[in-house]
Amino acid sequence: MSLFNAPFDPATDTALVTGAGNGIGRAIAQALVGEGVRTVFADISAERVNAAISASERPERAVPWVGDLAGLEACDALLAASHAALGEVTHFVHSASPPRREADHALAVDRRTWAEMHAVNLDAGFHLARGLAKRLIAAKRPGSFLFLTSLHAGTPRNLPHYSTAKAGMAMLVKELAKTFGRHNIRVNALVPGAIAAGGFVADASLARHIPLGRLGEAKDLAPMALSVLSNKLSGYVTGAAFVVDGGLSLTNWFEPPMLEE
């Protein structure tokens, strides 16, 4: 059998994807149902969730959920709805994040915007992952969790609420990977570069700083996401961060050499 054949078992694997209404989360959720994995599409926007499911290859494998993950009660409601619909949730992707606005720099960002960014990215990510893990541990089932972090976990973005939330998530991945590893629950980070996906308003001129010569698209993230989520393909991988950025993070004050054609 081919190594890459059937990375998931639709009879036992189930998934929850937050931020599944748009961008990267949507591409990953759609790819999971495309593999036959029953998947909860969770997002704050009903319109986006419904559109994402309708545009999926196999909408009958999708379960919609709509709510604001800035509140822990909503996280509890999502856990309850996911377990009711799927039983144990073996695969978790945390992609939901409030919009980034360039105006929210260090002197301008208000308390509410700061708190919401941390609540959705970090607090909800922790609360959901822990809730899912408790059930998996009790059921002695393996799991695989993936957090969407950012290059700005390690380098400033001029948006301190965003970069600090992502830095917290990067450490959360390591904490959870270490704690859950002995229960066969893997936890990893996916680190996108400049992805014209909705959450990032891309300036096309940025492409000249990217070694592969173009901005990314949400669909560029899905194959790596599924590879890391798959216990068949990545069963010995945990606590790792996978950068999918077309080489953007290699850029510094040295231009690459001009090579003769």
Ligand X SMILES: NC(=O)c1ccc[n+]([C@@H]2O[C@H](COP(=O)([O-])OP(=O)(O)OC[C@H]3O[C@@H](n4cnc5c(N)ncnc54)[C@H](O)[C@@H]3O)[C@@H](O)[C@H]2O)c1
**Is the torsion defined by CA of 212, 216, 221, 222 positive or negative?**
negative
Nearer Cβ to ligand X (131/192): 192
Distance of alpha carbon 164 from alpha carbon 168, whole angstroms: 6
Nearer Cβ to ligand X (64/98): 98
Nearer Cβ to ligand X (44/81): 44
Determine which residue in the list 4, 6, 12, 45 makes contact with ligand X, applying CB under 6 A: 45
Say whether residue 78 binds ligand X (CB under 6 A): no
Q: Residue 146 CB, nearest distance to ligand X (Å)?
A: 11
Determine which residue in the list 13, 16, 23, 228 makes contact with ligand X, applying CB under 6 A: 23
Q: Spell out the residues 6+ positions from residue 95 whose beta carbon is closer than 8 angstroms to its own.
A: 17, 18, 19, 20, 23, 24, 25, 28, 148
Distances from the Cα of 100 to the Cα of 15, 109, 114, 142, angstroms: 26, 11, 11, 34
Question: Contact 208/202 with Cβ under 8 angstroms?
Answer: no
- Build a one-symbol-per-residue string for 209-228: x at contacts with ligand X by CB under 6 A, - elsewhere: ---------x----------
SS3 260: coil
Say whether residue 128 binds ligand X (CB under 6 A): no
Say whether residue 199 binds ligand X (CB under 6 A): yes
Determine which residue in the list 15, 16, 17, 21 makes contact with ligand X, applying CB under 6 A: 21
Distance of alpha carbon 18 from alpha carbon 76, whole angstroms: 13
Determine which residue in the list 86, 194, 225, 244 makes contact with ligand X, applying CB under 6 A: 194
What are the helix (H) ranges across the chain?
Answer: 23-34, 46-54, 72-86, 111-118, 124-139, 160-180, 222-229, 231-234
Distance of alpha carbon 239 from alpha carbon 241, whole angstroms: 7
Distance of alpha carbon 92 from alpha carbon 164, whole angstroms: 22
Say whether residue 200 binds ligand X (CB under 6 A): yes
Say whether residue 231 binds ligand X (CB under 6 A): no
Say whether residue 35 binds ligand X (CB under 6 A): no
Nearer Cβ to ligand X (87/198): 198
Say whether residue 39 binds ligand X (CB under 6 A): no
Determine which residue in the list 37, 75, 120, 225 makes contact with ligand X, applying CB under 6 A: 120
- Helix (H), strand (E) counts: the chain: 8, 7
Say whether residue 238 binds ligand X (CB under 6 A): no
Say whether residue 43 binds ligand X (CB under 6 A): yes
Which residue in 99, 70, 115, 62 sits closest to 197, CA to CA? 99
Determine which residue in the list 148, 173, 210, 228 makes contact with ligand X, applying CB under 6 A: 148
Interacting residues toward ligand X by CB under 6 A: 19, 21-25, 43-45, 48, 68-70, 95-98, 120, 148, 150, 192, 194-195, 197-200, 218
